[in-house]
Structure 1
């Protein structure tokens, strides 16, 4: 069995138009949303063996917000191909061809990649959250998919959608403009 957890970065700032896209930081709302997701990760024991994170500032800051909720020593690799992964098929190919041995991999990345990967890899079922993923994949959305394979090389079919959650779905204070 293999598990793939997809996490879109938390809400980031567009206030400084002189910053390059890769350098945009999280805003306070984004930090709060990522903390909610971190709490969910811990409560549900969604502990990856390996985290592949985009090099962008907002993804690295999202990782920093959830890190206290992860076991010490969780392996993290900053993977530059995640930043410009397009629709996600490149990341699927990466998982299949990179000799990753870890059973549970988390990718912290961007849209439309995270949403498209979730749609391409999760089984569609009436009550599993697939339709919500189709409608919107907001910032800090987390999806976990379980596959009945024993090696990432065999990734290709659809897996069971185990978790789909957004900060808005979780308890805690709501932001006025929360997605």
Structure 2
């Protein structure tokens, strides 16, 4: 069984024109969202083998905060440029290339790409709000099967309002 978790970054600051898009930090609300979501995932026993994040500050900070809550080493988070300004097809290519030794992988990135990929994997998912987590379990031992077979299970976890 392979488990893929797609995490849209938490709420970020948008109103500072002096910042490049990659450098936008999380807003106070985003910091709270990421910590709360991390706790919820930890309570459910989520223990990814691999965290992969977009290089954007808001995505990486979300990954770091969730990592702390679920017991994943912050220094082990892989930063991958392909998760920034990407497409659902490009994201799927990243997923399909994961080493088979990883059973559960968590990706951190952006919309609309994450919602597009989530919807492609499960038509039930039509929108991922900030800090939403889409989880997919595939009855396979190979990552290249993801996207060619339907998930055995899927769920969307939204942050509390």
| TM-score, normalised by the number of residues in structure 1 | 0.82
Which residue number corresponds to residue 32 of structure 2?
Answer: 32
Distance 2:99 2:65 in 1: 28
Aligned partners of 2:29, 2:53: CA distance in 1, in Å?
20
Deviates more, 1:69-78 or 1:109-118: 69-78
Q: Which runs of 5+ in 1 are unaligned?
A: 125-129, 169-173, 175-179
From 141, 152, 156, the equivalent of 2:132 is 141
**Structure 2 residue 44 is matched with structure 1 residue 44:** yes
- Point out the more displaced range, 104-113 or 66-75: 66-75
Does the 8 Å contact 1:49/1:105 carry over to 2? Answer: yes
Deviation at 1:101, TM superposition (A): 2.8
Between structure 1 and structure 2, the one with the greater Rg is: 1
Q: Is the counterpart of residue 157 in structure 1 residue 149 in structure 2? A: yes
Q: Aligned-pair distance for 1:23?
A: 0.5
Query: Does the 8 Å CA contact 1:141/1:167 hold for their aligned counterparts?
Result: yes
Aligned match of 1:167: 159
Q: SS of 2:77's equivalent?
A: strand
Aligned-residue Cα RMSD (Å) equals: 1.7
> For 1:167, what is the secondary structure of its paired residue?
coil
Structure 1 residues 7-86: aligned runs within 5 Å: 7-73=7-73, 75-86=76-87
Q: Secondary structure at the match of 2:63?
A: helix
Contact 1:101 1:151 (C-alpha < 8 Å) held by counterparts: no
1:82-121 equivalences in 2 (<5 Å): 82-86=83-87, 88-121=88-121
CA contact under 8 A between 2:137 and 2:151: conserved in structure 1?
yes
Give the TM-score of the pair, scaled to structure 2: 0.91
Q: Which moved more, 1:90-99 or 1:14-23?
A: 90-99
